[in-house]
């Protein structure tokens, strides 16, 4: 049920309601409850454990202490069933047992109160305000729960326009601000904007202030906005590129006219270091949408209750932020499901996976879930079925290695190229390397070259000199480490042997490097 359904429930004789809303939205909730109470000619009262007296809510959501001493929460209301009004009690059902459900004492008091309220001729209503509420199954019919939803793009546009239209010209940068504000509760956003307007002199500065706040808030929850990758493409993953281009086309509003929807998710499967994470980052960049990375194991809280709360709030954020498209990235997704079938965690893993399954199946927001995995068999089969694509990212073939080298050479050695003979040497000597290891090889070569140059050029001349390297410098760095394909050969071969179960990320090698020329008469 939605927030706007509350008056209808009261009209139907429901006298007790639970409202789930972030703490920052307390005043927004009280504003709405005040309007409802006024329409029924009833006073509105508020209480939480920070007060020793009942507080009356008056105009402009001011709280006025009453003479009624209240330290026992719901028990007080049960003992004063003759006092008319709408009573908003905060945090009174948040006490939970080991399973995350309301404690037996709280459940008993609450059920007694609900039956008592029904005899008061609709003159007494209780609203239990919580950031997250869970009940025993038999309590759900007695206490309907309403969730305070995050603002839509239309609601944001109207509210923000009122706040800033006298300060700034609402040009094209206004829409950038609106998109940045997606996923932030309205009450929290109003406080943030009011504070930021004190030092932001342009819309761009205001947008950056919101973005910095948003990143900091999410980082505290184990979630990060991912910045642009340091290379423009992954190299050698042409089939994956095509899949992502088709997904990008489905972001267009016209796709809905043909009953087409944005894909729900993709699994990028393959050995470590093959470019799965980079591909996910590039996907968001190519689509022109933000990307948030979440650690599946990191969403777990200290208790089952906290874990379910964290996941629910995070998925709500993703839905609100996916108005124009969002990539939700889970790295090493399979590690979070190791031991999934055991009961070592009390079944919490299965509960969280079930909530994710339901969300992936039912959501209508344009959120693309991209999960990288090394061991696909660790994921529950019912979760795998929710993904539209399973794409295998293998070790790069010769042509792909050439593309990957060119990408990283351009970063450290602009304009550097080799003759065919040197390229063949380098490509042959790196045939067991992953893209991550190729990137490391090029970077280490650049570091070594910089070290040599730093001893030759002093007094500001260093930055004017290009780094000079030969093919031998790269080959020396190649033999300074052992490729993962050799270190973990058994594990990687086991992963690669199952590649037939997924779509390939790359076409067969048709480049000029696909087949080394035969040498007939000497070298």
Is 410 inside any structural domain?
Answer: yes
Per-residue pLDDT of the chain (523 residues; tens, 9 = 90+): 777 888 898 888 889 999 999 999 999 999 999 999 999 999 999 999 999 999 999 998 899 999 999 998 889 988 888 889 999 999 988 655 555 556 778 888 888 888 888 776 668 999 999 998 887 777 778 889 998 888 988 999 999 999 998 889 888 889 999 999 999 999 999 999 999 999 999 999 999 999 999 989 888 777 888 777 777 788 889 999 899 889 888 888 899 889 998 888 999 999 998 988 888 888 888 888 889 998 887 788 888 888 888 899 899 999 998 888 899 999 888 887 766 666 667 778 888 888 888 998 888 889 999 999 998 988 888 889 989 999 999 999 999 999 999 999 999 999 899 999 999 999 999 999 999 999 999 999 999 998 887 776 655 555 666 788 999 999 999 999 899 999 998 988 999 988 888 999 999 999 999 877 665 555 5
Tally of domains within the chain: 4
CA 243 from centre of chain: 22
115 and 166 together in one domain: no
- What would the pLDDT profile of 505-521 be if each residue is shown by its tens digit? 999 999 999 877 665 55
Report residue 219 as tokens. Answer: 């980082």
Closest to 78 (Cα-Cα) out of 48, 49, 111: 111
- Domain assignment of residue 182, given as a range: 153-220
CA distance 243 to 234: 14
CA distance 9 to 4: 10
Closest to 504 (Cα-Cα) out of 376, 393, 381, 370: 393
For 255, which DSSP code? G
Which of the listed residues 192, 220, 248 is the one where a domain comes to its end? 220
CA distance 332 to 296: 9
Is residue 513 within 8 A of residue 427, CB to CB? The reply is yes
Is residue 252 within 8 A of residue 242, CB to CB? The reply is no
416 and 495 together in one domain: yes
Residue 461's pLDDT is what? 59
Q: 């009624």: which residue's tokens?
A: 68
Q: CATH code at 66?
A: 3.40.50
Report residue 513 as tokens. Answer: 């490097």
Is residue 183 within 8 A of residue 321, CB to CB? The reply is yes
CA distance 519 to 516: 9
Query: Crossing angle of helices 26-39/186-196, nearest 10°?
Result: 120
Report residue 227 as tokens. Answer: 């910045």
95 and 193 together in one domain: no
Q: CATH code at 387?
A: 3.40.50.300
Query: Crossing angle of helices 435-454/471-478, nearest 10°?
Result: 120
- What would the pLDDT profile of 252-284 be if each residue is shown by its tens digit? 889 988 999 888 899 999 999 898 888 888 888
């Amino acid at each position: 049920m939605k927030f706007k359904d509350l008056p209808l429930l009261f009209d139907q004789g429901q006298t007790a309601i639970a409202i789930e809303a972030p703490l920052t939205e307390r005043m927004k909730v009280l504003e709405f409850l005040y309007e409802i109470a006024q329409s029924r000619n009833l006073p509105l009262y508020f209480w939480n454990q920070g007060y020793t007296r009942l507080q009356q809510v008056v105009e402009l959501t001011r709280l006025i202490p009453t003479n009624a001493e209240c330290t026992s929460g719901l028990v007080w209301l049960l003992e004063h069933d003759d006092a008319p009004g709408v009573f908003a009690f905060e945090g009174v059902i948040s006490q939970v047992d080991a399973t995350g459900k309301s404690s037996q004492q709280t459940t008993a008091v609450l059920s007694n109160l609900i039956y008592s309220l029904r005899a008061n001729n609709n003159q007494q209503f209780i609203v239990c305000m919580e950031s997250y509420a869970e009940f025993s199954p038999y309590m759900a019919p007695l206490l309907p729960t309403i969730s305070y939803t995050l603002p839509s793009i239309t609601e944001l546009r109207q509210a923000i326009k009122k706040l800033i239209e006298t300060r700034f010209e609402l040009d094209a940068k206004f829409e950038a601000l609106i998109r940045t504000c997606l996923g932030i509760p309205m009450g929290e956003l109003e406080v943030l904007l009011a504070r930021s307007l004190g030092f932001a002199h342009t819309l761009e500065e205001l947008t950056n202030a919101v973005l910095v706040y948003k990143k900091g808030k999410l980082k505290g929850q184990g979630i990060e906005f991912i910045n642009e990758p340091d290379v423009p493409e992954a190299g050698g993953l042409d089939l994956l590129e095509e899949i992502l281009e088709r997904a990008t086309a489905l972001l267009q509003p016209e796709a809905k006219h043909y009953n087409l929807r944005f894909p729900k998710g993709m699994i990028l499967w393959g050995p470590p270091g093959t470019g799965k994470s980079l591909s996910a980052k590039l996907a968001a960049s190519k689509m022109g949408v933000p990307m948030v990375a979440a650690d599946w194991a990191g969403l777990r809280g200290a208790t089952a209750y906290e874990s379910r709360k964290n996941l629910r709030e995070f998925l709500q954020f993703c839905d609100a932020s996916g108005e124009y498209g969002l990539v939700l990235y889970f790295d090493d997704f399979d590690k979070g499901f190791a031991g999934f079938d055991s009961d070592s965690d009390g079944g919490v893993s299965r509960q969280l996976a079930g909530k994710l399954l339901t969300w992936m199946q039912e959501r209508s927001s344009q959120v693309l879930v991209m999960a990288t995995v090394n061991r696909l068999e660790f994921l529950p089969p019912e979760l795998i079925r929710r993904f539209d694509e399973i794409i295998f990212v293998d070790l790069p073939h010769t042509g792909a290695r050439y593309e990957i080298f060119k990408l990283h050479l351009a970063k450290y050695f602009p304009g550097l190229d080799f003759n065919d003979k040197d390229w063949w040497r380098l490509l042959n000597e790196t045939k067991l390397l992953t893209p991550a290891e190729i990137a490391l090889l090029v970077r280490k070569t650049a570091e070594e070259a910089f070290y040599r140059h730093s001893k030759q050029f002093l007094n500001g001349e260093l930055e004017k000199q290009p780094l000079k390297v030969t093919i031998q410098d790269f080959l020396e760095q190649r033999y300074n480490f052992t490729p993962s394909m050799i270190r973990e050969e058994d594990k990687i071969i086991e992963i690669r042997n199952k590649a037939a179960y997924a779509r390939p990320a790359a076409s067969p090698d048709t480049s000029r490097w696909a087949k080394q020329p035969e040498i007939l008469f000497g070298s």
